[in-house]
Amino acid sequence: MVYVDTSVLVPLFLNEPHSVAVSAWYARERRELMAAAWCIPEFASALGIKQRTGVINAQQAQTAWAKFERMVAADLRLLSVEPAHFHRAAGLVLDAASALRAGDALHLACAEAAGAKLIATLDDVLSRNAQRLKIKAVVLRGAL
**What's the CA angle centered on 136, arms 132 and 142, to 5 degrees?**
120
33-49: average pLDDT? 97
- Average pLDDT estimate for 121-140: 93
**pLDDT number for residue 48:** 98
Average pLDDT over residues 130-136: 96
Judged against a pLDDT cut of 60, whether residue 75 lies above it is answered with yes
Mean pLDDT of 64-88: 97
| Residue 71, domain member (yes or no) | yes
Indicate which CATH number applies to the domain containing 108: 3.40.50.1010
Predicted confidence at residue 144, as pLDDT, reads 39
Classify residue 38 as exposed, middle or buried by CB count within 10 Å of its CB (0-12, 13-18, 19+): buried
Please report whether residue 103 resides in a domain.
yes
Higher-confidence position of 114 and 140: 114
* Count of domains forming the chain: 1
Residue 2: strand, helix, or coil: strand
pLDDT of 40 > 70? The answer is: yes
143 in a domain, yes or no?
no
| Domain assignment present for 120 | yes
Tell me if residue 135 falls in helix, strand or coil.
coil
Q: Which domain holds residue 126?
A: 2-138
DSSP 120: E
Does some domain include residue 116? Answer: yes
pLDDT digits (tens, 9 = 90+) for 51-61: 999 999 999 99
